[in-house]
Structure 1
Amino acid sequence: MKLVSFMKNDQCNPGILINEEVIDLEKWSRKHRVAPVTSIIDIIKNECLLNELENLTMESTSGCSLKLETITLGPCIPDPEKIICVGLNYKKHAEETNTLPPDHPILFSKFRNSLAGHKQVIDIPKVTKKLDYEAELAIVIGKEAKNVPPEKAQEFIFGYTIANDLSARDLQMRTTQWLAGKNGDGFCPLGPCVVTKDDIMDPNLLEITTTLNGERRQSSNTSDMIFDCMTLVSSISELMTLYPGDLILTGTPEGVIHGYPEKDQHYLKDGDEIVIEIEQIGSLKNTFSS
């Protein structure tokens, strides 16, 4: 099942994406006189509701669908408690940055102000001259998780989506802490949808690509990750409690601008378009404005 958040009355509302239509779940819940479904988190926390939604029929959703082309998508998880990111988690990305593969996951965070939706225009802050893309598979946590062993981590995952860990390299590298380069407004486009885990055959074996203005820049597979999805959930849950809707951005493969020879490092500029595709999930597209 594919879940989205779309804008209605200046708020993010939950929906189910079926082909090119979105089922408005707030309208659906009113029609069937059930507890209102007002956010994706409602669905993540309620297994019975999730099962009911998986069995929706055309008859039960009549009058509740919208054409995808007529709506604006927001970040598919608009209100996570935590956005945890993993640095240098692909072998070839570590190589292109001349960095030794880490012995433990390198963790940092993004904040909610960084969230953006599919097709949203991202403003390039005046304070940076080196804005870079990073295609990433994002894990959506489904259950409260603490000290989870790797072999049980799948039980605590709700699904997966696509993220772009936008990074202002000049700000990121001017101190030993990466926060300044990672948390500009809109620096975490997320979407277009959350795909529930049952519809992903193997999250550790997915093709992942990035194009910049139609030119292929990243082309890899999540099998190149140093720490796979289950290891990350387990490792992070040893440090902190994970809650439904929390996000783990699993790192980016090789091909980022920062990894190019300095003479070829042409960073994102006004009018550029980035499209990230991950197998079995879809495409996340954003353009940039200065």
Structure 2
Amino acid sequence: MTRIARVQTPDGVRVVRVDGDRFIPIHDPYVAFARGEEAADAGTPVVGSVLAPCVPTVVVGIAQNGPGHASPVQAWLKSPRTVTGPDRTVRLRRDAGTTVAEAEVAVVVGRDTTGLTAENAHEYVLGVTAVNDLSSPDRSTLDPRNFESKSGEGYTPLGPFIDTTIGLDDDTSLRLVVDGEPVCDTSAGRYPMSLRACLAYVAGWTTLGPGDVVMMGAPFSASPIGPGVTVEVVVGELRLRTPTA
């Protein structure tokens, strides 16, 4: 299975696999993943709008995952209530200074991370998606814990799909595009601390579970933005589009 999505249909939210332009309902992909299986089909194709591809209980951000930092890589928490889906307009805060769009690789956890190490991390990961970690960095001088800078409504656009074929060791392309113009072009291979090492670090302090998200940082893929632009985060072949107001 390549891509997993959540779709709002007239009959409710369905988890689907994406087959071209078709959405085919599947059984719970996390239950199947824990069994070492692919989720079986659960009905005929449906029509609907794409939501965020998972509903995390925990969203973890990785900080200092870039060159030249005096402090080591650390993790921080972002409210899962800031998660929104693709093509949802996000209203930028006017009272928090500059807004920065941050294109990041987001890893979606597939099962309880007890026992996760850097070497076996792939056994715990359902797949990868794109995330725009919208931030208000001017607030960090007053709030070093990142609560204010990261808590805007809808400040975690996620999606559109979970790609289960992207590996933790892949040098996956990572781009930030604003109003159709590329502003940052890098790849997962440029993270100083690997995806595996970041996952092992997080799992060494707290247990994550199915659907939780770890955002891997944006050392080379961040740019200031203003209201009224459309931001796209491109991870491999995944393209996450977020209009702003």
Decide: shared fold, TM above 0.5. Answer: yes
| Cα distance in 2 for residues equivalent to 1:120 and 1:50 | 32
Instruction: Report whether the alignment pairs 1:45 with 2:45.
Output: no
| Cα distance in 1 for residues equivalent to 2:168 and 2:214 | 17
| Cα distance in 2 for residues equivalent to 1:11 and 1:88 | 40
- The residue that corresponds to 1:154 in the other structure is 122
Amino acid at match of 1:51: E
- The residue that corresponds to 2:229 in the other structure is 272
C-alpha distance after superposition, 1:40-93 (max 9, x if no partner)? xx321234595253xx5xxx85x4233xxxx3211111x2111000012133xx
Amino acid at match of 1:227: M
Instruction: Report whether the alignment pairs 1:75 with 2:52.
Output: yes
- The residue that corresponds to 1:288 in the other structure is 244
Shift of 1:24: 3.6
So what's the TM-score if we normalise by structure 2? 0.90
List aligned pairs for 1:59-138, cutoff 5 A.
63-66=44-47, 71-77=48-54, 79-91=55-67, 95=68, 99-100=69-70, 102-103=71-72, 105-138=73-106
- The residue that corresponds to 1:263 in the other structure is none
Instruction: Report whether the alignment pairs 1:164 with 2:165.
Output: no
Contact map agreement 1:220 1:253 (CA 8 A) in 2:
no
List aligned pairs for 1:11-50, cutoff 5 A.
12-25=13-26, 37=27, 42-47=28-33, 50=37
| Cα distance in 2 for residues equivalent to 1:74 and 1:51 | 21
Give the aligned length: 243
Which of the residues 156, 174, 178 maps onto 2:146?
A: 178
Q: Indicate how the Cα distance of structure 1 residues 106 and 183 shifts in structure 2: closer, same or farther if over 3 A, else same.
A: same
What secondary structure, in the 3-state scheme, does the structure 2 residue paired with 1:133 have? strand
Amino acid at match of 2:212: D
- The residue that corresponds to 2:193 in the other structure is 227
Amino acid at match of 1:3: I
Contact map agreement 2:92 2:244 (CA 8 A) in 1:
yes
Structure 2 alignment gaps of length 5 or more: none
Shift of 1:129: 3.1
- The residue that corresponds to 1:210 in the other structure is 176
Larger helix percent: 1
Shift of 1:11: 5.2
What secondary structure, in the 3-state scheme, does the structure 2 residue paired with 1:284 have? strand
So what's the TM-score if we normalise by structure 1? 0.77
C-alpha distance after superposition, 1:161-182 (max 9, x if no partner)? 0011100122233222211111
What secondary structure, in the 3-state scheme, does the structure 1 residue paired with 2:210 have? coil
| Cα distance in 2 for residues equivalent to 1:9 and 1:187 | 27
| Cα distance in 1 for residues equivalent to 2:143 and 2:11 | 37
| Cα distance in 2 for residues equivalent to 1:5 and 1:90 | 32
Q: Indicate how the Cα distance of structure 1 residues 126 and 50 shifts in structure 2: closer, same or farther if over 3 A, else same.
A: farther
Structure 1 alignment gaps of length 5 or more: 26-36, 258-266
Larger strand percent: 2
Q: Indicate how the Cα distance of structure 1 residues 269 and 12 shifts in structure 2: closer, same or farther if over 3 A, else same.
A: farther
| Cα distance in 2 for residues equivalent to 1:135 and 1:10 | 33
What secondary structure, in the 3-state scheme, does the structure 2 residue paired with 1:252 have? coil
Contact map agreement 1:108 1:179 (CA 8 A) in 2:
no
Larger radius of gyration: 1
